[in-house]
Structure 1
Amino acid sequence: MVRIIAGSRKGRLLTAPVGQTTRPTADRVRQALFDMLLHAPWGGPTLISEAHVLDAFAGTGALGLEALSRGANHATFFETSRPALAALRANIQACKWEESCTVIARDVTSPPLSTFPAGLVFLDPPYHQNLPERALNALQSKGWIAPNAIAVIETGCEEPLPFSNEEEATQTANTPAFLAERQHGAARFSIWRL
């Protein structure tokens, strides 16, 4: 059972597709993640308040919907799985956020052009497929990510951190800055400034 933890839709149950293909971020993990975003020196209430949030590999949309409940202005969701898209659309409708959400049924590594960049980006891709860097590069090249945006990336705890293959000598102004990391069970969240 997945629910929204805090804010205007606190307690709202979210629909999740049956099976193991979609793995919604657990309530307690989302609570810990949003607590960190709100209280870290690089975060704070303004990180979420009235932000445009991008939830890539959205699944049920739990991360983007949690951000909306906590004051974000708009959420854009990328998802390709039909069962996950059905659950995501049902969750948006149940929360009555049709006007505040955009659902893009497209692979996030091949996004359309955007003129509405996001300041907070959630990436929860399938594990062990080296998708975070590819997805972020594609999103940045198509205008989806605002300057100095914060990216929250979920990977398996045994996977190397995203961008860890970068040689120190080849770091550029476009290389994300590592801010924090937390492990919760089999999942690891790393936070980056883009």
Structure 2
Amino acid sequence: MSQNQPPKTHAGAHQLRIIAGQWRSRRLPILALEGLRPTPDRVRETLFNWLQFSVREARCLDLFAGSGALGLEALSRGAAEVVLVEKHPKAALTLQNNVNTLKTSQAYVLNQDAISYLEQDTNPFDIIFLDPPFHQAWLPKILDLIEQKQLLKPNGYIYLEYERELVLDLNHWHLAMHRELNAGQVRCVLAHRIEY
């Protein structure tokens, strides 16, 4: 996740660690951007334990990709394809450089706004990762578009990270809770599409 803000000027080692799969323990550089919150290792490990039987050969969308923590982890664990959408130009460039470093042709980095990407014609996904900027009312708009354009396959999964005080009625988007956890002020939810 990132916001359109200039990079911080302080120095320091900013890295993303891939937890498991073909790039296990690989460390990649990430930008120190205001508002960029890579999903913590502990949360990612829990999420991918939940998804362990669904990631392999999945087509995934990492919207608000930021550091690419979720999308690259999915690819490392056997996803067939990952589309990484990131609006911030420098974050998108760093993400593309990391994809090049990993020498994978299965990741597609798009320096684009989330809404404009979803409004394009695209094939549906098996798994969608949503970690938008907090306190900006992104999720209802994004979930509306995903539902309207049928971008989640039958029995597909959506992972959501959002502020704990936000209340979402998942049924409104034909989603059902699969798993959830709270990490500090962040609520992490894995939901699946309800067939109707």
What range is the shorter-chain TM-score in? 0.7 to 0.9
Q: Structure 2 length as normaliser, TM-score? A: 0.82
Between the aligned partners of 2:145 and 2:129, the Cα distance in structure 1 is 14
The equivalent position to 2:108 in structure 1, one of 99, 102, 110, is 102
Between the aligned partners of 2:66 and 2:122, the Cα distance in structure 1 is 24
Deviation at 1:141, TM superposition (A): 3.2
Between the aligned partners of 1:193 and 1:67, the Cα distance in structure 2 is 17
Deviation at 1:88, TM superposition (A): 1.0
What are the ranges of 5 or more consecutive residues in structure 2 without an aligned counterpart? 1-14
The equivalent position to 1:22 in structure 2, one of 36, 42, 49, is 36
Deviation at 1:8, TM superposition (A): 0.2
Q: Deviations over 1:19-61 (max 9, x none)?
A: 32311112222112211223xxxxxx1x101000110100011
Q: Map 1:64-103 to 2 at 5 A.
A: 64-97=71-104, 99-103=105-109
Q: Deviations over 1:52-99 (max 9, x none)?
A: 0110100011101000100100001111011211221122111111x1
Between the aligned partners of 1:4 and 1:134, the Cα distance in structure 2 is 30
Q: Is the 8 A contact 2:83 2:109 kept in 1?
A: yes
Cα RMSD, aligned residues only: 1.8
Q: Map 1:31-180 to 2 at 5 A.
A: 31-38=45-52, 45=53, 47-97=54-104, 99-111=105-117, 112-157=119-164, 159-163=165-169, 174-180=173-179
Between the aligned partners of 2:64 and 2:122, the Cα distance in structure 1 is 20
What is the match of residue 168 of structure 1?
none
Between the aligned partners of 1:79 and 1:87, the Cα distance in structure 2 is 10
Q: Deviations over 1:156-189 (max 9, x none)?
A: 22x223336xxxxxx56x5222222101223211
Between the aligned partners of 1:84 and 1:19, the Cα distance in structure 2 is 8
What is the match of residue 180 of structure 2?
181
Q: Is the 8 A contact 1:76 1:104 kept in 2?
A: yes
- Change in Cα spacing, 1:14 to 1:163, as seen in structure 2 (3 Å) is farther
Letter in 1 for 2:177: F
- Change in Cα spacing, 1:181 to 1:175, as seen in structure 2 (3 Å) is same
> Larger deviation: 124-133 or 102-111?
102-111
Q: Deviations over 1:100-137 (max 9, x none)?
A: 01222222123243342111010000111121121122
Q: Is the 8 A contact 2:92 2:110 kept in 1?
A: no
Q: Is the 8 A contact 2:61 2:83 kept in 1?
A: yes
Deviation at 1:18, TM superposition (A): 1.7
Q: Is the 8 A contact 1:52 1:72 kept in 2?
A: yes
What are the ranges of 5 or more consecutive residues in structure 1 without an aligned counterpart? 39-44, 165-170
